[in-house]
Amino acid sequence: MTLTKTLVVSNHANHDLEWLKMTYEYGFSPENTIIYDRTPDDFVGKSKIDHLGKVIKSPNLGSNPYDIGRYIVDYYDDLPDMMIHIKGNLLQKKYTTKERFIYALNSNWLVPIDRGELNSFHNPLPYLVNDEWFSHPMHWYDNNPENLFGRERLEGMKIRSRLPTFRSFIHDLFVIDDRDIPKNISFAPGANYAVPKHYILKYSKNFYRKMMHYSDYENNPIEAHWFERIYLFAWQGCLEENFSYIVEEK
């Protein structure tokens, strides 16, 4: 049986997306590529990209976790077997290597699209696990969140009054004991992932609506960074979803 696949691209800043044509060698085409484009219509020199895939206008909010949540909610009942979620500058910013990206394109399993030069930029340990995976100790978020994000940004969070910490954010998403939260949070910088449909469907539409609702107030909010850090934890695991907060369907 042939797997269905879709490449989902978040285009934040009029990136040159012609490089996406390299994916055509690996089963992708404009017919199974969706581009969430945030570039304003009046942007001088705006690139023409509709020949590369289906272009959907996206608000410049919530970084790419907003677009990931939007895609999953919109297509929840008709998802492809595999989704490749990437930023439009995936290779230009060196989130990963070309070889790792090709590996993800060919996969039918969960792949963090990482191991690029961003990892070595953040040496020394404990940023890296096995010299490859990007990871943060959970105690950084418990004890020194200002060092990671800055006090002003943390105080400006939309969900701060209800979920002031990363740990409380995790408890909002899952019914989980503190002792079961990993001591190290591994994630792909930029939230670039190849992910199978059955991993997505472990959680309800409400889970993915939270990605949009919690991050819809600025283009690079803390909440988007927190979602970036829980994707691998959520999709690798089989966690009980917390339904104590329901996002109203629009």
Region 113-123: what's the mean pLDDT? Answer: 62
Contacts of 79 (CB under 8 A, 6+ apart): 72, 197, 200, 201
How far, in whole angstroms, is CA 6 from its chain's centroid?
15
Give this prediction's pTM: 0.93
The SS3 call for residue 56 is strand
The confidence score (pLDDT) of residue 124 equals 44
The string of DSSP letters for 89-136 reads TTTTTTSB-HHHHHHHHT-SS-EE--BSHHHHHT-STTSEETTTEEEE
Stretch 69-91: mean pLDDT = 97
Which one has a higher pLDDT value, 20 or 148? 20
Cα distances (angstroms) measured from residue 217 to each of 66, 71, 74, 91:
11, 18, 20, 28
For residues 114 and 160, give the distance between their C-alpha atoms in angstroms, rounded to a whole number: 30
Higher pLDDT, 185 or 131: 185
Residue 249: pLDDT over 70: yes
Q: Would you state the pLDDT for residue 126?
A: 44
Distance between CA 168 and CA 105 in Å, rounded? 34
Average the pLDDT over 51-80 and give the result: 97
- Strand 82-87 vs strand 54-57: parallel, antiparallel, or unpaired? unpaired
Q: What is the pLDDT of residues 201-247, one digit of tens each?
A: 999 999 999 999 999 999 999 999 999 999 999 999 889 999 999 99
Q: Are strands 184-186 and 133-137 parallel, antiparallel or unpaired?
A: antiparallel
How far out from the chain centre does Cα 233 lie? 12
Could you give the CA distance from residue 48 to residue 62 in angstroms, rounded to a whole number? 24
Alpha helix ranges (H) inside the chain? 63-75, 98-105, 117-121, 138-143, 145-149, 151-155, 166-173, 197-200, 205-213, 222-236
